[in-house]
Amino acid sequence: MTLVDPFGRLPRVPSFAVTSATITEGAALPPEHRSGKDRSPQLSWSGAPAGTKSYAVTVYDPDAPTGSGFWHWAVADIPATVTELPEGAGDDTGSGLPDGAFQLPNDARLARFAGAAPPAGHGPHRYFFVVHALDVESVGVPADATPAVLGFVMSGHTLARAVLTATAETPGTERLEVSRVVPAPADAVFAVLTDPEGHVDIDASGMLMSAEGEPVRQAGDRFLVHMDRDALGDVPLGKYDVEVVITKLVPDEEIAWTVEGRFAHVRHIYGYRLEPAEGGTRVTSYYDWSEITEEWRQRLTFPVVPESALKATLGILERTVRRRLR
């Protein structure tokens, strides 16, 4: 799937800096900024060009399955003397907005911040938090205008643009996800996850006996794992070997794999995502069986790996990382 660039057809303008105390560039949005809590994030910006007379702030999801994305927030006529919005500024009353600024109705037709709510199973969505530096004190749109109208009018007045991008995903019914903060840097966690013996070390089922192969470096790499199904006692398979095939690898960020062996390829996916977190690295373990064939749906009961096992593996992962760092 080709990702939409929300700025691809807009006039090119310089950039300036925007930061946040509550969201991190490229990382998943915290629950506070998702649907249900709907709390707008803290934003600070600096370095806008000379001649800036006001700002606008918008939040947009180009990945929403609408054909036109989804506008979550739009604030216009922020005075040029203001360089920060506190967390929660985008409530029903705009209590944290400076004098003169106002919120436009978002795509839910609410004049406030709407938290991220990607559809279940639709994959990761991107959320663009944008501060627009404008050459007019008032952009001149009515309070009931749409964010799209605001964007159209702003396009001829934008001096510069500051962008912070975060993500959100809602697992589908054929996917499990669990998370844990591991008190270690991402590279230390990733070193375990890319090591064949590391997979054996963190196994919570007792089935993985040993592994053979070099640490994986890229999608397509493989290693061999010696299994003993008697550890589970669910089916009489005994001892057998499988190949772990890496399907995705982004160093220190994400690794995913599937398993091939003596049976036809089932095509269920296991993986880990790593994100910076206070006190270490937030590790999300996931198991996705959405791509399995109907034949395998009839032969096996899914999920093969329960949520409790994913949680146990994260605990063992933390213990393993701690031991390796000694």
| pLDDT score for 292 | 78
- Final residue of a domain: which of 148, 168, 188? 168
Q: Do both 198 and 306 map to the same domain? A: yes
| pLDDT score for 229 | 77
- Final residue of a domain: which of 168, 195, 212? 168
Residue 293 has pLDDT above 80, yes or no: no
Q: What sign does the CA torsion over 134, 136, 142, 143 have? A: positive
| pLDDT score for 192 | 97
Q: Do both 31 and 119 map to the same domain? A: yes
Alpha-carbon gap, residue 278 to 266, rounded angstroms: 37
Alpha-carbon gap, residue 231 to 117, rounded angstroms: 40
| pLDDT score for 195 | 97
Q: Which of 97-111, 171-185, 213-227 has the lowest mean pLDDT?
A: 171-185
Q: What is the mean pLDDT of the chain?
A: 92
Q: What is the mean pLDDT of residues 217-223?
A: 96
Q: How many CB atoms lie within 10 A of CB 14?
A: 13
Q: Do both 133 and 43 map to the same domain? A: yes
Is the model more confident about 237 or about 19? Answer: 19
Residue 266 has pLDDT above 80, yes or no: no
Residue-number span of the structural domain to which 55 is assigned: 17-168
Question: Residue 265 — pLDDT band, cuts 50, 70, 90?
Answer: low
Alpha-carbon gap, residue 175 to 289, rounded angstroms: 6
**H/E/C letters for each residue in 126-146?**
EEEEEEEEECCCCCCCCCCCC
Answer yes or no: is 220 within a domain: yes
| pLDDT score for 233 | 63
Q: Do both 44 and 131 map to the same domain? A: yes
Q: Do both 204 and 301 map to the same domain? A: yes
Domain count, the chain: 2
Q: How many CB atoms lie within 10 A of CB 310?
A: 21
Q: Which of 23-37, 103-117, 136-150, 198-212 has the lowest mean pLDDT?
A: 198-212
Q: Which of 68-72, 117-121, 295-299 has the lowest mean pLDDT?
A: 295-299
Answer yes or no: is 230 within a domain: yes
- Segments of 2-42 assigned E as strands: 17-19
Of 93, 83, 192, 79, nearest to 139 by C-alpha is 79
Answer yes or no: is 5 within a domain: no
| pLDDT score for 228 | 85
Answer yes or no: is 11 within a domain: no
Q: Do both 139 and 273 map to the same domain? A: no
pTM: 0.60
Residue in this structure with the two tokens 């993985």, named with its chain if needed: 208
Answer yes or no: is 3 within a domain: no
Q: Do both 80 and 143 map to the same domain? A: yes
Q: Do both 208 and 119 map to the same domain? A: no
Q: What is the mean pLDDT of residues 214-230?
A: 92
Alpha-carbon gap, residue 80 to 116, rounded angstroms: 28
Residue 215 has pLDDT above 90, yes or no: yes
Answer yes or no: is 110 within a domain: yes
Q: Do both 161 and 303 map to the same domain? A: no
| pLDDT score for 232 | 66
| pLDDT score for 22 | 97
Question: Residue 1 — pLDDT band, cuts 50, 70, 90?
Answer: low
| pLDDT score for 86 | 98
| pLDDT score for 245 | 94
Residue 303 has pLDDT above 80, yes or no: no
Question: Percentage of the chain with pLDDT > 70?
Answer: 95
pLDDT tens digits, one per residue of 147-160? 999 999 999 999 99
Residue 216 has pLDDT above 80, yes or no: yes
Q: Do both 261 and 241 map to the same domain? A: yes
Q: What is the mean pLDDT of residues 73-93?
A: 98
Residue 302 has pLDDT above 80, yes or no: no
- Final residue of a domain: which of 149, 168, 187? 168
CATH of the domain at 316: 3.30.530.20
| pLDDT score for 235 | 66
Q: Do both 106 and 131 map to the same domain? A: yes
Answer yes or no: is 282 within a domain: yes
Q: Do both 151 and 73 map to the same domain? A: yes
Q: Which of 74-88, 132-146, 165-179 has the lowest mean pLDDT?
A: 165-179
Answer yes or no: is 10 within a domain: no
CATH of the domain at 45: 3.90.280.10
